[in-house]
Amino acid sequence: MTAYTSDFLNILAERGFIHQVSEPDALDARAKDGTLTAYIGYDCTAPSLHIGHLLPTMMLYWLQQTGHRPIALMGGGTTRVGDPSGKDETRRVLSEEAINENLRSIRKTFSKFLKFEGDGGNAIMANNADWLNTLNYIDFLRDVGRHFSVNRMLSFDSVKLRLERQHELSFLEFNYMILQAYDFVELNKRYGCALQMGGSDQWGNIVNGIDLGRRMNNAHLFALTAPLITTASGAKMGKTAAGAVWLNADLVSPYDYWQFWRNTEDGDVGRFLKLFTVMPLDEIARLSALQGAEINEAKKVLATEATALMHGRDAAAEAGDTSRKTFEEGSFAGALPTVEIARAELEAGIGVLTAFADKTALASSNGDARRQIKAGGLKVNDATVGDDKMMLTAKDLTADGVIKLSLGRKKHVLLKPV
RNA sequence: GGGAGAGUGUCCCGAGCGGCAAAGGGGGCGGACUGUAAAUCCGCUGGCUAUGCCUUCGCAGGUUCGAGUCCUGCCUCUCCCA
């Protein structure tokens, strides 16, 4: 590992954030001497960021922590185009209103990690729609387009893959890399931004921006990419049955978020502690050294620290507490997801199938609930359901005044009469 | 514009002589074993008011007792020629 002299690169390197860096020595000197401004681009195709965005966001966090200036660039303009990288299919194009809606929602997530201007910090949230939407096509072609060689563009993986597999690549998408390169140049001009970071798949796009900056403005720009994070068993990170692990609390509750980290594979714990928490490295080293069942302690720390970063210390503690009661003591606490039902309805009696499929959506349909019963996967108040005609009534309420429904060992919902 | 080929279970890939709720994978879910891990093994993986009914193979028609399968038209994609 290269020894850096700047705090910023040192921390990123020690914690495993660095995959590739352009001109490491020059960047290191730059980060040591003064304030470095760097950006990461985000799509806004969804109303929330997900786990996959967390890693780059942590890089912005450390950037700010080490005295520099982060820019979160929202792709309000490029989202209307769609990055072809790593995808076979054309991305659907969102309406402008939907994009703006998503943008607002995502901004809240950033504010947990970054201190923005007007909030006691220097972080900037930019939107490339600000400059892309008003571009004049002819001017753009003349000023920017002439610096791009189609021969070279065709050699990029993102394009080559599509062509080789004979999938359609529209001209619109073909232009994505040009727009991203232009973003970098524009941010350099506006804010003196000198570094673009991103996932390893972004290397080509970032380097394009560096080249364009040099050709247009003789600017000296840098690239830094993070490794692609897969789990120890090779799966892509953050994919669960329920879909993506979102960062917004209303999409994935702090409890579920905590559980996500708690269920990390053994082999990933040390790496994840370094990447997704801000704990000191010596403490992480101690936790990572735990063997066998003891590593569960490290997983709990990981879950709590990661959740605290995202949802706050209190929510993390509550999620940890609920989890302990649920899994270790066999009881439960209030932070489990709760679904309210009318008391009268409960008194009249609710079929188990209805309770699991309609009320709580633990099962996807009555048929699914039936199948789960046959497989022994459904529990009411921790007792396995054996009969799909079973009725739930007020008599099933526990001392806490709720009914606990479980699918498998990990998914629990409380049914609460109101 | 001409010629050739393709579109299958709303997660993906993919088989499918006219009797098909449709092979086989992957993924996912559940169970067993464990440590809320991994690996392994087993089961499940259209819907419903359920010994039956309804909806599915690009779309719309047709032939047939019966169509994913045959015919016609259309749509989309790929390749070759112009």
Distance CA A198, CA A276 (A): 16
Q: How do beta strands A222-226 and A20-21 pair? A: antiparallel
ipTM above 0.90, yes or no: no
pLDDT over 50 at A350, yes or no: yes
Non-local CB neighbours of A214 within 8 Å, separated by 6+ positions: A220, A221
What is the pTM for the complete model shown? 0.86
Distance CA A272, CA A52 (A): 13
Q: How do beta strands A37-42 and A195-199 pair? A: parallel
In this predicted structure, what is the pLDDT of residue A219? 94
In this predicted structure, what is the pLDDT of residue A164? 56
Mean pLDDT over residues A49-66, rounded?
A: 91
Q: Which ranges of A34-88 would DSSP assign to H, the alpha helix?
A: 51-65
Tally of CB atoms within 10 A around A388: 17
Rg of chain A over all Cα atoms, to the nearest angstrom = 25
Query: Residue A314 catalytic?
Result: no
Distance CA A352, CA A340 (A): 15
- Active-site annotation holder among A240, A338, A384, A393: A240
Distance CA A43, CA A45 (A): 6
Q: A268 near A277, Cβ under 8 Å?
A: no
Each residue's pLDDT tens digit, A138-196: 999 999 999 988 878 877 766 666 665 555 566 766 788 888 899 999 999 999 999 99
**Which helix or strand (DSSP H or E) is residue A125 part of?**
strand A124-127
In this predicted structure, what is the pLDDT of residue A53? 85
Q: In angstroms, what CA-CA distances link A298 with A98, A312, A369? A: 40, 19, 35
Mean pLDDT over residues A56-77, rounded?
A: 93
Query: Residue A239 catalytic?
Result: yes
Q: In angstroms, what CA-CA distances link A342 with A189, A389, A414? A: 59, 20, 14
pLDDT over 80 at A80, yes or no: no
Q: With a 7 Å cutoff on the CB, does A174 touch strand B?
A: no
Query: Residue A112 catalytic?
Result: no
Q: How do beta strands A411-417 and A403-407 pair? A: antiparallel
Q: With a 7 Å cutoff on the CB, does A108 touch strand B?
A: no
In this predicted structure, what is the pLDDT of residue A88? 37
Each residue's pLDDT tens digit, A213-265: 999 999 999 999 998 777 766 666 655 444 567 888 887 889 989 999 999 88
Each residue's pLDDT tens digit, A372-394: 998 889 999 988 998 888 899 99
**Interatomic distance A168 CA / B19 C1' (Å):** 39
pLDDT over 70 at A309, yes or no: yes
In this predicted structure, what is the pLDDT of residue A16? 92
**pLDDT band (50, 70, 90) for residue A91:** very low
- Smallest CA–C1' separation from A407: which nucleotide? B30
Taking all residues of chain A, what is their mean pLDDT, rounded to a whole number? 86
In this predicted structure, what is the pLDDT of residue A319? 93
- Smallest CA–C1' separation from A240: which nucleotide? B28
Q: With a 7 Å cutoff on the CB, does A377 touch strand B?
A: yes
In this predicted structure, what is the pLDDT of residue A157? 67
pLDDT over 90 at A12, yes or no: yes
Least-confidence region, from A7-21, A78-92, A202-216, A270-284: A78-92
Q: With a 7 Å cutoff on the CB, does A407 touch strand B?
A: yes
**pLDDT band (50, 70, 90) for residue A52:** confident
Amino acid of residue A56: P
What residue ranges in A183-259 does DSSP mark as E strands? 195-199, 222-226, 239-240, 243-244
